[in-house]
Structure 1
Amino acid sequence: MRFFEDSSIGIKVSPITTVIFAGALILIVIFAWLGIFNWLFTPS
């Protein structure tokens, strides 16, 4: 019974963590592309 409770908690927590990690990866990719575009279009 305790194993079922732990598994249910894991199932409840995992979608939130996957959404947070997905959002963080998308933001990192967007900022990386913006940084690359700024580096390409600005003469340094």
Structure 2
Amino acid sequence: GGSLPLHINGVLVGGLAVADVSHEAADACARAALARFSDRVR
């Protein structure tokens, strides 16, 4: 499967395996990564 890189403000935060997980799981993963990223920035 392929992966979809997750960029936030030009920073590569992580990758999502789009072929191996459902949209809901990918969305949850993205939200979790965004939450961790936000906590690091603050």
TM (norm. structure 2) is 0.49
Work out which of the two has the higher radius of gyration on C-alpha atoms and give 1 or 2. 1
Query: Higher strand fraction: Structure 1 or Structure 2?
Result: 2
Question: Which one has a larger percent helix, Structure 1 or Structure 2?
Answer: 1
**TM-score normalised by L of structure 1:** 0.47
Higher relative contact order (CA 8 A, sep 6+): 2
